[in-house]
Structure 1
């Protein structure tokens, strides 16, 4: 009769055999990914049939189970690790990050109480302090927490800003406030802020969307005017969110100018630098985020430009005690071994309670590549973005966004405006249908354009040239 432990654990030789086999399959995927069509066929019935193919009533051996899921992933997903995936901010994960998630899964440290995972907590604290220092924060006052992603980090920003501005909020909630709090973000800001407004109890009407200028930066004059209008109407402004690299066009708001306004108006300034924040790792790019050290808090996603596996969001702040004020709590059932130590239990310091060792993939990536390695990687991707701009220009495509980051929005200037939507949709679908590259469509100033972003550290000049060929071929076909 099979031992209960062997049902889930397998014996030592089986673990080695299965683990080696899986690693070989992962290595094959990473080595030969350029041979796989990037986009899947979106056949709902086929996808569902594959998902339901194996039955829980009839268990299979480990290799068959692994083969089944790997076959499904190869066939039915957009392959974001592909060097010609020019899409959203989903990069090819680096190998040390992949191993880090494996280590985390195996050791399964519980990062709620410091005493249960002290080395994991302190490794994360080390990483957070190092990244905070890159943003210009003081090591003595900087604090932060790893999050599931930028959405949680942005929600954390709203909650900490509310706690800072309205001390009764943490205990008594919005019902205790004699005023209606309002916050501000640009029309190009991330929609996670809408969710944050709902989740915090403010409601979406409390999020004031400010128009952008011709270059898609937040219009600071319009922002200042709206703050005055709201004060005159009896509302209480408490938070401004600037964006350090917008999702659509990679635009960076004038952070220093906004910091001046936030200081005069005594508002919390949060910078959502989920993608563009990594510019501070590159001396040639860091001035793009001038003034970010003046922000009260920052969102940064390591799973974007740092190329670690999903999800590794980060919230950092220059206010040492604000996370404690917002999230501190006691619970009788939590471990007490570290009660007399000068440490902080993570469950008292963030939205999450039980959580995994998120920071390990950032730590192992940094400790093996180093800051210099990341400098080189980010510089390479920036150069590939510049190459794409040049090649588009040579082929009579017009780049319509102004950013140094490798996010390129473009169209054909000879296509009439009334036909732009149909044209861009056609070109995008042709590129996706080829299976050789992935791009998307974005709307700028109510005009539909094509968008390509360099997210992969393995993207080369040849990959850029393949994309140009696909675009030119699709356009020629459209114009026939």
Structure 2
């Protein structure tokens, strides 16, 4: 007998019973065969992109926002569309309207080309989809991540008892450092919060550090004024004299310092703060010493370059981003600490609906900011296991050599290097443009960088070091080679020729000599 649809409680229900019409797959289950076809098409598109990305521009000349919105307006989600066609449309949109960080001449932010092992790890993690909140749900996945964390901790010189977690990125890892530091320094903080502190808390970081510290201070309730951005020396490193002055002033004023952050590889200029000296000061003052090695932490895998991080082994906690110089797909941050008990005290929570705690391993949800957790560490594990540590060591060493080559070639072409670092971040300025004064220099260097980006021949950024405008390039892609270095030098030379020194002047009676 045909069931008759009736209305009950706002939902349609068949007269033949509540289970009528529920047989067979649900509306989102397309079956393994169709799923395999979809994944196969996605793989084809990704491989084709990887093969051809170097043949096209690094970035579009214009963002194309209006055209992107016009394209999206046709997708009102009112009904189904062929998935294969959608994949092709989206891939075309990403290729047409986006900066290609996998291009060998993308020399901008710390976003290297991901390894194929990392890409495969992302697919496997998404398909199996383990939930890493509770150990009981994913013991293999949790142990794989912990294995990678222990390996990285050992390379950094942290003790065997060190613990940590994979994070969405460096900002979350540094946020974790602040929470752990507050928990260690102020016993009442976990339960009573900032109100229980004996005075206004403050933390110290370089003025050239990643300014996620300001967002973290806002998020945690410290307030942005709690962040003491310490001036830097001529090499872009945190100035120890100014640090001591700020600390003494804060103590005299009744403020309570609790964290000192050193940066290993500043974003703008690649400087490494004096980590051994910072470690000693932190110990003397009773501060939690954190090292933000989000980018340069990768050199710990190289025996030859590891001395650049001397002092990190004394850190109470460390940030490393595998999606920066370990060539993992975005995002893959790492937080490590020598204080597992403080980490547990910072995030411990118990609920009736979570599985029972493991007898051997902490549940990840109770030792990190995150609760539900994806299997971030798999892409890092696969790459390290497949390639081996030595391959990563040789890669960072090669990138560093390419940085030296780029700096030399730009100097030969008349540019002046304005940053001091052995790491592959190269910042240069044009002396003749600087002769017009700071404002003119800023406008001219911005115009040259924009010209290079619009040309599609390379992607470079502008920055300012010690108030001095400059054009910045960093090398972190395993696809970048000497030919790309020459192409970048040529692109900058052409942009400089196409941007006369007088062209960006404003309100001047005569052109620059």
- Do these two structures clear the TM 0.5 threshold for a shared fold by scoring above it? yes
Task: Give the structure 2 partner of residue 385 of structure 1.
Answer: 403
How far apart in 1 are the matches of 2:74 and 2:251? 60
**Are residues 1:132 and 2:162 paired?**
no
**Are residues 1:286 and 2:306 paired?**
yes
Residue of structure 2 aligned with 1:255, choices 271, 275, 295: 275
How far apart in 1 are the matches of 2:273 and 2:389? 25
How far apart in 2 are the matches of 1:13 and 1:2? 22
* Secondary structure at the counterpart of residue 57 of structure 2: coil
How far apart in 1 are the matches of 2:488 and 2:89? 32
Task: Give the structure 1 partner of residue 72 of structure 2.
Answer: 51
Task: Give the structure 2 partner of residue 331 of structure 1.
Answer: 351
Task: Give the structure 1 partner of residue 234 of structure 2.
Answer: 214
Deviation string, structure 1 residues 272-326 (Cα, Å, up to 9, x no partner)? 1100111111122111111100010001100000010111000001112111111
Structure 1 length normalisation: TM-score?
0.97
Equivalences for residues 441-456 of structure 1 within 5 A: 441-456=462-477
Task: Give the structure 2 partner of residue 63 of structure 1.
Answer: 84
Structure 2 length normalisation: TM-score?
0.91
Equivalences for residues 150-189 of structure 1 within 5 A: 150-189=170-209
How far apart in 2 are the matches of 1:91 and 1:180? 40
Deviation string, structure 1 residues 189-230 (Cα, Å, up to 9, x no partner)? 111111111111111111111111111111111111111111
Q: CA deviation at 1:161?
A: 0.3
* Secondary structure at the counterpart of residue 37 of structure 2: helix
Aligned length: 477
Q: CA deviation at 1:58?
A: 2.7
Residue of structure 1 aligned with 2:166, choices 146, 163, 169: 146
The answer to whether the Cα contact below 8 Å between 2:164 and 2:334 also exists between their aligned partners in 1 is yes
Residue of structure 2 aligned with 1:344, choices 362, 367, 370: 362
**Are residues 1:410 and 2:428 paired?**
yes
The answer to whether the Cα contact below 8 Å between 1:36 and 1:74 also exists between their aligned partners in 2 is no
Deviation string, structure 1 residues 385-435 (Cα, Å, up to 9, x no partner)? 111011101111111100011100001122224221121111111101111
How far apart in 2 are the matches of 1:46 and 1:16? 32
How far apart in 2 are the matches of 1:51 and 1:373? 42
* Secondary structure at the counterpart of residue 25 of structure 2: helix
Residue of structure 2 aligned with 1:15, choices 21, 24, 35: 35
Bigger-Rg structure (1/2): 2
How far apart in 1 are the matches of 2:209 and 2:256? 21
Equivalences for residues 262-341 of structure 1 within 5 A: 262-336=282-356, 338-339=357-358, 341=359
CA 1:469–1:11 in structure 2 vs 1: closer, same or farther (change >3 Å)?
Answer: same
CA 1:403–1:13 in structure 2 vs 1: closer, same or farther (change >3 Å)?
Answer: same
Unaligned 5+ segments in structure 1 are none
Task: Give the structure 2 partner of residue 244 of structure 1.
Answer: 264
How far apart in 2 are the matches of 1:300 and 1:5? 43
Moved more, 82-91 or 341-350: 341-350
How far apart in 2 are the matches of 1:42 and 1:346? 40
Deviating beyond 4 angstroms after TM superposition, the runs of 4 or more aligned structure 1 residues are: 1-4
Equivalences for residues 80-95 of structure 1 within 5 A: 80-95=101-116
* Secondary structure at the counterpart of residue 173 of structure 1: helix
CA 1:163–1:2 in structure 2 vs 1: closer, same or farther (change >3 Å)?
Answer: closer
How far apart in 2 are the matches of 1:303 and 1:177? 36
Equivalences for residues 94-109 of structure 1 within 5 A: 94-109=115-130
